[in-house]
Structure 1
């Protein structure tokens, strides 16, 4: 175990799988105490951290619901007495359909989790991080927040919104000691991409073809970027949208 984040506390939403799980483990390996948050109850990530000799708790939460998010932060403070960092990663891809066929239900659910959820998390995280005098929040958008992606209008809109929301919060918090950044992953090997491709050879080739390096990214590659953005090595970085991909070429 390293000690870069010793005695520090981080919230990781969407922490039960994929990028969230990899990031929670990466923080734990550097000494952080981790609150793993997800709407699907699972102790796999918590157990993985405890196997490393770290400290972690699981909190069930729907980030689109105010009461859940408020309770998430309260439970973190009750367990660890402080909050220093947050990786607001929870999100869904929604249902694939052209803009004119996107249902209102799909739009509301996708925007509610992906965009409103990040706003709610920051709303309750920021006051607690302020009590420590400094800290960092990293939100998760997507390269789909930087370019268009046919067939996923709600997802693309939500991720563009996350980038704008992050830049706004960064301006508000810069002189208060809190840095706020956003990571924009490319096509990463996660359960989400498995759902989008259906694990079919044709779809996998289509998605990997979007990456000039010719492969999916790995969750750990995003986790490393998030941990760096929270470290003192990134002390002058705020309001930044970091694309972590192999040179995404979608237009």
Structure 2
């Protein structure tokens, strides 16, 4: 490893699996103090134990990103343990589960909106307060959006709308907090082999085959590949990058209707 994140304290939401878990493992290998959060305590503890066994610095804090108090507690734990919060990867999210716009229930709409958009906003609010507190040195925030937030996808209207909102939120925060030494960027992954995608593939292998056919590289991404992009954006090597949305999608063309 290159010690890309040496000495930095970085909080990761949704770190019990998928992109969040890969990021936690990578960031620790790159020298960061990682604070990992998720709702699923058993899975979160497993990730923390593995990182610690490998010599990494890790703190696991069970937290639901839709709960402002729990997020504040996670940020406070990071500051208490390591003295500051240098970075954050806001990764927690959920999918819509399909269905055309007029078929989406109020319950699905509310749940997707609360997790994918309000959850990111709540996390950023807590993180920004820590990064701009008296004596703080700023920091870097990366929010996970999706290619679904950059162009419309049939069956994912609400999901796509929330991911587009994450991009807009990231750009606004970058403009507001740049003079405070805080950089804010987003990543828009394409089809990525998270647990969700693997389960889809098990039910219908043609789904991944179809999504792969839309990518210039002809394959889906791996969680580690998204994590690598996040590590760079959170590092000092991206010190003049803010307000941007980085597509990590293998050159995916817009999904047909």
Q: TM-score band (shorter)?
A: over 0.9
Match of 1:184 among 185, 188, 198: 188
* Partner of residue 215 from structure 2, selected from 208, 211, 215: 211
Match of 1:3 in 2: 3
Query: Aligned partners of 1:204, 1:19: CA distance in 2, in Å?
Result: 17
Displacement after TM superposition at 1:62 (Å): 1.2
Contact 1:102 1:153 in 2 (8 A): no
Distance in 1 (CA, whole Å) between partners of 2:64 and 2:231 is 24
The alignment status of 1:241 with 2:241, answered yes or no, reads: no
Would you say the 8 A contact 1:14–1:90 is kept in 2? yes
8 Å Cα contact 1:92-1:192 kept in structure 2: no
1:137-216 matches, cutoff 5 A: 137-216=141-220
TM-score (norm 1): 0.95
Number of aligned pairs?
Answer: 251
Q: Per-residue deviation at 1:197?
A: 4.0
- Equivalent residue number for residue 136 of structure 1: 140
Moved more, 68-77 or 36-45: 68-77
- Residue 97 of structure 2: aligned partner: 95
* Counterparts of residues 8-27 of structure 1 (less than 5 Å): 8-27=8-27
Rounded to whole Å, the distance in 2 between the matches of 1:18 and 1:201 is 19
Contact 1:92-1:110 within 8 A present in 2 as well: yes
TM-score when normalising by structure 2: 0.93
Q: Cα offset for 1:6?
A: 2.8
Identify the residue that residue 122 of structure 1 maps to in structure 2: 124
Supply the distance in 2 between the matched residues of 1:158 and 1:72 (Cα, whole angstroms).
24
User: What does residue 39 of structure 2 align with?
Assistant: 39
Instruction: Give me the whole-angstrom Cα distance separating, in 1, the residues matched to 2:193 and 2:96.
Output: 17
User: What stretches of structure 2 of length at least 5 have no aligned partner?
Assistant: none
Q: Offset of 1:246 from its aligned partner?
A: 1.0
Which residue is 1:86 aligned to?
Answer: 88
Shift of 1:198: 4.4
Counterpart CA distance in 1 for 2:163 and 2:3 is 33
CA RMSD of superposed structures (Å): 1.4
Contact 1:197 1:203 in 2 (8 A): yes
Q: Which runs of 5+ in 1 are unaligned?
A: none
Question: How far apart are the structure 2 equivalents of 1:5 and 1:164?
Answer: 27
Other structure's SS at 2:60 match: strand
Quote the offset at 1:2 in angstroms.
4.7
Q: CA deviation at 1:12?
A: 0.5
